[in-house]
Amino acid sequence: MRIRLDGTRAEIVDALFRLRLNFTVRGVSRAYPDRAKPHAWRVYVNTLPRERR
């Protein structure tokens, strides 16, 4: 699954931490500046559902 995260750098770091609690993160793109919002960034995350035990 590919997830797009938008926000400030702090918001993206927090979202990545929370995603890792429920998903296996396979890759994270570099941060791209968001043209519409001057202090916002976007990151793409490739994930897999975490296996429940």
Tell me the pLDDT of the chain (53 aa) as tens digits.
999 999 999 999 999 999 999 999 999 999 999 888 889 999 999 999 887 76
Q: What is the pLDDT of residue 53?
A: 67
Q: What is the pLDDT of residue 52?
A: 72
Q: Retrieve residue 8's tokens.
A: 């400030």
Q: Retrieve residue 9's tokens.
A: 């750098």
Q: How far is CA 31 from CA 1, 7, 15, 46, 47, in A?
A: 18, 10, 14, 14, 17
Q: What is the pLDDT of residue 12?
A: 97
Q: What is the pLDDT of residue 27?
A: 96
Q: Tell me the pTM.
A: 0.84
CA-CA-CA-CA torsion sign (28, 44, 9, 21): negative
